[in-house]
Chains A and B, each alone.
Chain A
């Protein structure tokens, strides 16, 4: 329907059908149509088209989407927030720390690599186990289930990147180095969530990460690889995510800890928590190193963190013999406010 000259435009005819013309515009269009057979025909044709479109059936939803059954996982946020309006520039950052010793690893999120690493990973079939087996503790919510994956990831470990002594953020093509920060640093990051952000290139970093952290292409990178733990340590994993995309819709994260010599990993569901700044979501999971590798065999073990079915971080952990780097090793001593 190409229209020109004095004729009513396609947009005008279309809006006329919907009663969405201003009184003035409508008057002009109707006055024109009174004398223009072509515009009347066009309107008639468009009208019939719209009637046919409006006769399209609407598919029935396959199920109910009520949220009450999910209420354990969700809670309205008290303050206004519009995560879906946030720019997509923010980067996810993952931190793996030894309790109180404060080894912090911050790695980039390599989405493409992550998703290829995810390919073929079946959804965990969770079998309920008694709470907190093997000392695995889930930090954030007392009633969260601790589950064991019936199909062990050991069958097809998809570990990438450097192996020995390196904790790395999942599947990233380039292993993110880590850095050691002061014990207070983690607490500062956690406590100071209201002000610092890990948003993106050009954004300020949490002061706690200090000069050893750099932003590169919107991703956080810090120095000095680590991932080796003492059998006496507690392994805390903190994953920070921008409040966008999947994160804005997700309500919980899943931590899947590979256990040395066992087929079944330990799986814990941890609620996503919103930082006071409302610019980040974060989750905090913890396991005792001795539960992950009782023999301290130094076997590389994966820790997979998923949000909304997407792997957002993966770490490789090794547990070796030796004195504790911290004392006491505990899953409740650090990181929680």
Chain B
């Protein structure tokens, strides 16, 4: 498949809204990596992330008729919700206060994930580990903002739509999250 243009995406979205499942699967193919990564960053578990991603795409397909605007932030919103739903099911009664998030995500499990390929990373393993640890300690909102904007190129507007919050909130979450990572990199000696 050649490069995907916005025109392709528009065409697929339109066809999918008309019930064309093949067209929808083009969108799945285009965004499954992002969707899985977003779920992964929220749930921090590869199996849960895969389950949430599958549920999100099924849910998106069922609801595609309601889509107004662009597909990407709309899909992220569904992935975020599916991840939260799954967490509620898997870990009932747990809340997502900052303290709990920090407690639960202190271990950068991602690093030991067999699906990860650190060799392909553009940064050293040591720095990678530091950033992962920092990310793991961030409140989920900040981690999600960084994931969407820095790792998947969403604009602030798209991230706001995906996170259901004002643009100003995205801006502030992103800044605070980046600053926290910066502090940890300095502490680890990876940044002067």
Contact of A18 with B156 in the complex, beta carbons under 8 Å = yes
Chain B minimum-CB-distance residue to A245: B85
The answer, yes or no, to whether A223 is at the interface (CB within 8 Å) is: no
Stretch of A32-40, A78-86, A124-132, A290-298 on the interface side? A78-86
Known: A45-B191, A70-B58, A80-B65. Contact between A59 and B182, CB under 8 A? Answer: no
The dominant DSSP class at the A interface is loop
Chain B minimum-CB-distance residue to A80: B66
A241-261 with Cβ < 8 A to chain B: 245-246, 248-251
What residues on B are CB-neighbors of A63 within 8 Å? Answer: 50
The size class of the interface chain B forms with chain A is 35 or more
Residue of A13, A62, A81, A251 contacting most chain B CB atoms (<10 Å): A62
Residue of A57, A249, A309 contacting most chain B CB atoms (<10 Å): A249
A174-222 with Cβ < 8 A to chain B: none
What residues on B are CB-neighbors of A76 within 8 Å? Answer: 16-17, 19, 61-65
Q: Mark B54-70, 1 if CB is under 8 A from A, else 0.
A: 11111101111110000
Inter-chain CA distance A61–B53, complex, in Å, is 9
B119-167 with Cβ < 8 A to chain A: 120-123, 127-128, 131-132, 135, 146, 149-151, 155-156
Contact of A65 with B53 in the complex, beta carbons under 8 Å = yes
Distance (whole angstroms) from the CB of A328 to the closest CB of chain B: 36
The dominant DSSP class at the B interface is helix
Known: A67-B24, A251-B62. Contact between A14 and B182, CB under 8 A? Answer: no
What residues on A are CB-neighbors of B35 within 8 Å? Answer: 61, 65
What residues on B are CB-neighbors of A66 within 8 Å? Answer: 25, 28-29, 57
Known: A53-B146, A58-B151. Contact between A65 and B32, CB under 8 A? Answer: yes
The answer, yes or no, to whether B116 is at the interface (CB within 8 Å) is: yes
Q: Mark B16-37, 1 if CB is under 8 A from A, else 0.
A: 1101011011001100111111
Contact of B36 with A65 in the complex, beta carbons under 8 Å = yes
Contact of A57 with B57 in the complex, beta carbons under 8 Å = no
Count of chain A residues near B, Cβ 8 A: 56
Contact of A68 with B151 in the complex, beta carbons under 8 Å = no
The answer, yes or no, to whether A173 is at the interface (CB within 8 Å) is: no
Inter-chain CA distance A58–B128, complex, in Å, is 12
The answer, yes or no, to whether A277 is at the interface (CB within 8 Å) is: no
Inter-chain CA distance A82–B63, complex, in Å, is 7
Contact of B57 with A78 in the complex, beta carbons under 8 Å = no
What residues on B are CB-neighbors of A250 within 8 Å? Answer: 55, 58
Contact of A61 with B50 in the complex, beta carbons under 8 Å = yes
Distance (whole angstroms) from the CB of B31 to the closest CB of chain A: 9
Contact of B33 with A61 in the complex, beta carbons under 8 Å = yes
The answer, yes or no, to whether A333 is at the interface (CB within 8 Å) is: no
What residues on B are CB-neighbors of A82 within 8 Å? Answer: 63, 66
The answer, yes or no, to whether A332 is at the interface (CB within 8 Å) is: no
Known: A54-B151, A249-B82. Contact between A49 and B182, CB under 8 A? Answer: yes
Chain A minimum-CB-distance residue to B63: A81
Chain B minimum-CB-distance residue to A10: B175
By a beta-carbon cutoff of 8 Å, the part of chain B in contact with chain A is 16-17, 19, 21-22, 24-25, 28-29, 32-37, 40, 46, 50, 53-59, 61-66, 77-78, 81-82, 85, 88-89, 92-93, 110, 113, 115-118, 120-123, 127-128, 131-132, 135, 146, 149-151, 155-156, 171-172, 174-176, 178-179, 181-183, 185, 190-192
By a beta-carbon cutoff of 8 Å, the part of chain A in contact with chain B is 1, 10-11, 13-15, 18, 20, 45-46, 48-50, 52-68, 70-71, 73-84, 111-112, 115, 245-246, 248-251, 308-310
If A10-B176, A49-B178, A80-B65 are given as contacts, then 7 extra A-B residue pairs at C-beta distance below 8 Å, sorted by A number, are A20-B155, A49-B185, A55-B121, A58-B34, A59-B40, A77-B66, A248-B63
